[in-house]
Amino acid sequence: MKKGITLTKASVLIGSQVQNEKLAFGACVDSRLLKNGDLFFACSGAKCDGHQFLANAALKNASAAVVSEEYSGNNFGLPLIRVKCPRIALQVLAKKILQSYPTKIVAVTGSAGKTTTKEFLAHFLATKFRVASTPGNYNSQLGMPLTILNHIDGDEEMIVLEMGMTKAGHIASLVNIAPPDIALITGVSLAHAENFENLEAIIAAKAEIFSHPKTRLGIYDYQLKNSPSIQKTLHNLNHPNFRSFSFACEDQGADYTSKLTPQGIELMHKGATIVKLGPLTFPGKHNLHNFIAAALAANQCGIDWELIHQAAKTLTLPPMRLQIEEHHGITIVNDSYNALPVAVKAALNSLPMPKSGGKKIAVLSEMRELGSFSEHCHREVGEYALPLVDVLICLGDGCAPIYATWTKAGRQIILVKEVAEISEHLSALVKAGDVLLVKGSRPSNLSSLVNLFIKTGSFLIKA
């Protein structure tokens, strides 16, 4: 679509009929982000109705608007393409355009680590192929179709797509849009758990990534090997040429695993070393897990181990993922992209040692979308943090179990409701030589504190 598609052709692909040879060069569902020539899809959601923003789309020179067939309002000078559901039309257009591209697709999902793994994998593949990949975390029912329509032009040899979910069936829907040749599950934990009864139900939903007949290879975290859902999914697949294997950092039961050595890491297949790699350029055992997953997928796509070895030297983590930098005498660990239980534990476990006399201080936001698992998960994180940091500052009522755990243990913890309160406490607590972890989801806006300190040397927010 980046090369342009006529409104006539676009309308036919999504089951409508508009005679207009005007070209559309992209797709958009948010009029604030619309670019000149975009096709605006007036999707309805829980918070707003896209039909309310047709005037904005017209002002920004949208090529046309895809609207509900029931819409009877002003067109504001825009050609209107009427469909039953603009959201479904967006997905259908992405699917049909992608079908016309002669490219291989690798799909990545997982409760945590999927964006990092996707970035690593795209980096490796780019050593040999023309590659496109999901920008940021555009992995949703709207985000992935937008990725296809706005960031892929059909000249690529490999596409790496991140697939996310909040409910059962979401991954299956994305797989239907973009059937992968290779599918990868980085791991599964309690994330978006409010819509699931238990962990096994989440695993079953993630396993949908293996469900399409086009998929020839499934790669998955070894910890899932004994999951009834994984076993059932792999057993029931009716793909004559499908195969799968597991991976792990250290567990020798996995098909592929690794061993840390003084020179770096060794990757092994069923106990035999297949390649020796130098030391990794980023921190965190969980990122070694992501690295192994990406390296194995890249090798299965035809990237030889020497290319992977060389490309590994220039790998970097995505923004706000365990970024360790020293500013104004303070070591700041900025991991403010998300706040899942497994990710919080991984960050706590990856902190560098403070300088002589320094403290480890962690700022944690509440972990959202956990539903009935929230209290248990917060308490577990609180217990996990006890031996790892000296002081905790927690944001949000959901952190009450952490507060209770630390108070009972006689440890220093502060529970606040607003980011501004955190800034005041940090100003009083943080001294040169300290290590400060900032770990939270993007909506909590904890990254603003990091940016403020880097810029001014102070955590205080000026009125």
- State residue 133's pLDDT score: 97
- State residue 356's pLDDT score: 82
CATH 3.90.190.20 describes domain 323-456: yes
Residues 6+ apart with CB under 8 A from 368: 339, 398, 441, 443
Residues 6+ apart with CB under 8 A from 71: 42, 51, 80, 82
Q: Is the pLDDT of residue 120 over 80?
A: yes
The angle at the Cα of 168, spanning 339 to 239, to the nearest 5 degrees, equals 115
Q: Is the pLDDT of residue 77 over 70?
A: yes
The 10s digit of each residue's pLDDT in 14-53 is 999 999 999 999 999 999 999 999 999 999 988 889 999 9
Residue 336 CB neighbour total at 10 angstroms: 27
Q: Is the pLDDT of residue 462 over 60?
A: no
CB 414 within 8 A of CB 426: no
Q: Tell me the pLDDT band of 85, cut-offs 50, 70 and 90.
A: very high
Q: Is the pLDDT of residue 270 over 50?
A: yes
Q: Is the pLDDT of residue 463 over 50?
A: no
The 10s digit of each residue's pLDDT in 228-247 is 999 888 888 877 889 999 99
Structure tokens at 122: 């795209």
Phi, psi for residue 332 in degrees, rounded to 5:
-105, 125
Distances (CA, A) of 354 to 135, 281, 313, 316: 34, 20, 26, 23
Residue type (1 letter), 120: F
d(CA 226, CA 228): 6
Sign of CA dihedral 288, 291, 297, 298: negative
Q: Is the pLDDT of residue 79 over 90?
A: yes
The mean pLDDT of the chain is 93
Q: Tell me the pLDDT band of 117, cut-offs 50, 70 and 90.
A: very high
Q: Tell me the pLDDT band of 372, cut-offs 50, 70 and 90.
A: very high
CB 58 within 8 A of CB 40: no
Whole-structure pTM value: 0.91
d(CA 287, CA 113): 8
Q: Tell me the pLDDT band of 308, cut-offs 50, 70 and 90.
A: very high
Phi, psi for residue 171 in degrees, rounded to 5:
-65, -40
The 10s digit of each residue's pLDDT in 276-304 is 988 888 877 888 999 999 999 999 999 99
Beta bridge partners of 268: 257, 273
Helix-then-strand count for the chain, H and E: 15, 21
Domain ranges across the chain: 5-87, 101-313, 323-456
Residue 169 CB neighbour total at 10 angstroms: 10
Q: Is the pLDDT of residue 382 over 70?
A: yes
Q: Give me the mean pLDDT over the 339-356 stretch.
A: 92
In the chain, the percentage of residues whose pLDDT exceeds 70 is 99
Structure tokens at 210: 């293996």
Q: Tell me the pLDDT band of 163, cut-offs 50, 70 and 90.
A: very high
Residue type (1 letter), 341: P
Instruction: Give the CATH number of domain 5-87.
Output: 3.40.1390.10
Please name the fold of domain 101-313.
Answer: UDP-N-acetylmuramoyl-L-alanine:D-glutamate ligase (3.40.1190)
Q: Where are the beta strands (DSSP E) in 131-255?
A: 131-133, 158-162, 182-185, 217-221, 243-247
Residues 6+ apart with CB under 8 A from 308: 124, 127, 275, 277, 295, 298, 299
